[in-house]
Structure 1
Amino acid sequence: MLTGCFINNHSVNYLIPQGASRRKRIRNLMDYPFEICFQYGAVYKIEEKTACALVSFPEVKKSLSKVLGLELRLITSNIGLRNIP
């Protein structure tokens, strides 16, 4: 659902290298906020899969190693080192 919502987003398309794997990269990009909210916040969805909300609770202490692992995966498999700046 998140991939479909962001497939034409200009900011996402600026970050994600274009090409045959673009949809897969966007899906992987959406994994990052989903995992953060799933583990340290809340994920709400409508049963019909037409809407969802990802909520991050800033007061919840996050595991540094887990967050760094997710960020490293985000950078290496989706954004690419050239797009970090």
Structure 2
Amino acid sequence: MIKASKIHKERVIQLLAECIDTNKSVNWIVKQDADRKQRIRHLIDYSFDACVDLEQIYLNEDENGVIISSMSDDKLPFLEEAYLTARFVLQVTGVDGIAKALRREDYINSFHPQDHEFIYIWFIAVDKNQQGKGIGSKMLKEIIDKSNKENMPIYLETSEERTLNFYLNHGFENYHTSEKEMFGFDLYFLRKLPENFDSSSS
């Protein structure tokens, strides 16, 4: 894999936008109005800008697959974070949706570990014309290798059963499922602990 830089932004947005357009969790966050598709692109743009300088966005060599991830203790400078948050509200959720988005974030964070660092996967996507060729699996395995090498678990959430099965087939554990009443759909909480995991060394 290669680490994405700012020159890769449009390719990352293109890859993800076509893959998450019908994602239930994404559409729960994004304001559902005439600008919905553009708001999804803004969401990816926000995710890219939040992670690119932390060097946690990866493309495969042919730029047909992408993983956006972060480390749990990565923090942006205050002004940059404030700017991104304001942009997120205006372009993605709308002002009327920010309370809902914050409620979701608090709920998700309550199931993440507080006593050790972890790798968090925001998104993974493969060009629709290249799916079924093992590209996503190969990229994920590299993140798993990193997890094992650095003794850090991997955490993520998904609302899609196909994605759930993809991660389960790669050794992830579905350690919590939200109540349907929370979001109107099941949100699956997944993790994979590294081999010989020792939280005290994190």
Q: TM-score, normalised by structure 1?
A: 0.83
What is the rounded CA distance, in whole Å, between the counterparts of 1:60 and 1:7 in structure 2?
28
**Aligned-partner SS, 1:17:** coil
Unaligned runs of 5+ in 2: 1-14, 100-202
Give, in angstroms, the shift of residue 22 of structure 1.
Answer: 1.3
Task: Give deviations 1:18-72, integer Å, cap 9, x for gaps.
Answer: 2332111100011121111101232111243331111212344420110110011
1:33 maps to which of 44, 47, 70: 47
User: Which structure has more helix as a fraction of its residues?
Assistant: 1
- Counterpart residue number, 1:65: 79
Question: In the aligned structure 1, how far is the partner of 2:75 from the partner of 2:22?
Answer: 33
Q: Which residue of 2 aligns with 1:8?
A: 22
Question: TM-score, normalised to structure 2's length?
Answer: 0.39
78 and 60 in structure 1: CA distance in 2 versus 1, 3 angstrom threshold: closer
Compared CA separation, residues 65 and 46, structure 1 to 2 (3 A): same
For residues 10 and 61 of structure 1, the distance between their equivalents in structure 2, rounded to whole angstroms, comes to 28
Which one has the bigger strand percentage?
2
Match of 1:54? 68
Match of 1:20 among 34, 37, 41: 34
Contact 1:41–1:57 (CA under 8 A) maintained in structure 2: no
CA distance 1:41–1:55, change in 2 (3 Å): farther
Is 1:29–1:74's contact at 8 Å kept on the other side of the alignment? yes
If you compute each CA radius of gyration, which structure gives the higher value, 1 or 2?
2
User: Any stretches of 5+ residues in structure 1 without a counterpart?
Assistant: none
Measured in 1, the distance between the counterparts of 2:44 and 2:30 equals 11
Q: Supply the distance in 1 between the matched residues of 2:74 and 2:34 (Cα, whole angstroms).
A: 38
How many aligned residue pairs are there?
85
SS for the counterpart of 1:54 is strand
